[in-house]
Structure 1
């Protein structure tokens, strides 16, 4: 399973890199599953991934963050692949890093069925993290991906990436975020989930938080496309991932393919602080 998915996602990444470099990034007349107007680039990347994944006969169904409904590929296949074609695409026009996210499930959707996870960062360099039993970093060089190293988080980091509109945070969440800054943590938040989490993983640790807010009580980020894949990677890399309510993200159910959840990803120390704060304020 691993080799065909790794090779296919590498092909996808090279094609998307080329699309980012040359394609029109203006807005289209279409909306995605959230009702947001799509960029031309979102549509192009979605089509690239659909085309490449459709070649894998062992895939049963695919689901895109950009499409409302899942798509049957092969009734005899056993894998289900959920993907966000270009996370943070609104950052492309200001030349900040963006990424693609892939969650690979066996038998059906759901965190308990996840067997591998992957994301690609398109920045000054194109890098990929592929996680199955280990979280491995690959770098694109001369149009080929080369293995760099295994990723392991420290017990405690020093980066803080707080998502969501601050005026909609619960007071205790703001106090917690500020407490990390008071400990000397550095702010790292670009508005792109992939580059921010990639930085935490490669710099040894820290905390990325996207809590429940007054305007989004169920969180903003989607479980199948974003939350489960990164939770899987962080746990394999020696960190942890919780929702702040029922704790372990990988124990959460989902009600539909675009279901969302609050989420916290980080090293063991930061997640222990989140657990303590949220337990006191339930």
Structure 2
């Protein structure tokens, strides 16, 4: 898997340069969800495809920006699903964005996941790679350097609630408010990668993107976003559920399937399970 790790590092350096200089205007294309793509989304997607196409061990790739998966090497064994630039609409206001990679063996599916990675493009470029452990790396010049292993505490103090509030279920709003009453601090940028990264590095808390009245199956995609972060959080000693079930036990019917998702420390996820067992 070293060749994949190296390829992700190369993509990160190229994407960083694209963010710094690329025109981020809207293109005439739409992605698989019908959202108009930024030119930067397309550029980052191309960068990752180019780098992965040079790795013989990669069998198939699937991008959040493409409708269908793409075969690269028939003799490869790894299947990689990626979101080229999560939160790309935040670039024009200079907020952090990121790339997400789910690495699966022999086929796509939570039960096939063997590693996961994301890169944060902010004031610094940081990468978290999870295999047997969740490890933080920092871009220093032209090279990523290992910083530390990441472990979540049993309880955190950050609350990152996603989704439009007017579409939340009443019991979900009550739960979110209950954390604030305990002294939790609001941290929500609109970017999944920076918000989940902050919770990881600060030791714990809760990121939630529930089922809502307008998106009853959730908004975030299983293969590209949900499973990769579930793998990372569980590797770091946290938990990841859809409200009731372990996210890593879910199946999928299509590469763009979505799911409600909750990521956090054990304390917060236990609260989510209690609330959702009673109400959902």
Tell me whether the two structures share a fold, i.e. TM-score over 0.5: yes
Q: How does 1:6-25 map to 2 (within 5 A)?
A: 6-25=5-24
C-alpha separation in 2, matches of 1:15 and 1:180 = 39
How far the C-alpha of 1:239 sits from its partner, in A, is 0.2
State the alpha-carbon separation in 2 of the partners of residues 23 and 183 from structure 1: 43
> Which whole-Å CA distance do the structure 1 matches of 2:210 and 2:36 have between them?
24
After TM superposition, the score normalised by the length of structure 2 is 0.99
Q: Aligned equivalents of 1:143 and 1:59: distance in 2?
A: 24
Specify the alignment match of 1:220 in structure 2: 219
Deviations 1:100-126, CA, capped at 9 Å, x for gaps: 000000010000000000000000000
* Structure 2 residue 193 is the aligned partner of structure 1 residue 155: no
Q: Which residue of the partner structure matches residue 260 of structure 1?
A: 258
Tell me the distance in 2 between the aligned counterparts of 1:267 and 1:5. 29
Is 1:270 the counterpart of 2:276? The answer is: no
Residues 1:165 and 2:164 are matched in the alignment = yes
Q: Secondary structure at the match of 1:7?
A: helix
1:164-203 matches, cutoff 5 A = 164-203=163-202
Taking the aligned partners of 1:151 and 1:46, their CA distance within structure 2 comes to 28
Structure 2 unaligned segments of length 5 or more: list them: none
Deviations 1:177-219 (A, max 9, x none): 0000000000000000000000000000000000000000000
Query: What residue is the counterpart of 2:47 in the other structure?
Result: 48
The structural deviation recorded for 1:4 is 1.1
Q: CA deviation at 1:143?
A: 1.6
- Deviation (angstroms), 1:5: 1.4
Q: Distance in 2 between matches of 1:190 and 1:183?
A: 21
Runs ≥4 residues deviating over 6 A: none
What count of residue pairs does the alignment treat as equivalent?
280
| Aligned-CA RMSD value | 0.5
Counterpart CA distance in 2 for 1:75 and 1:224 is 21
Q: What is the SS of the residue equivalent to 2:6?
A: helix
Deviations 1:121-151 (A, max 9, x none): 0000000000000000000011210000000
CA shift, 1:63, in A, is 0.2
Alpha-carbon distance, 1:77 to partner? 1.0
For normalisation by structure 1, the TM-score amounts to 0.99
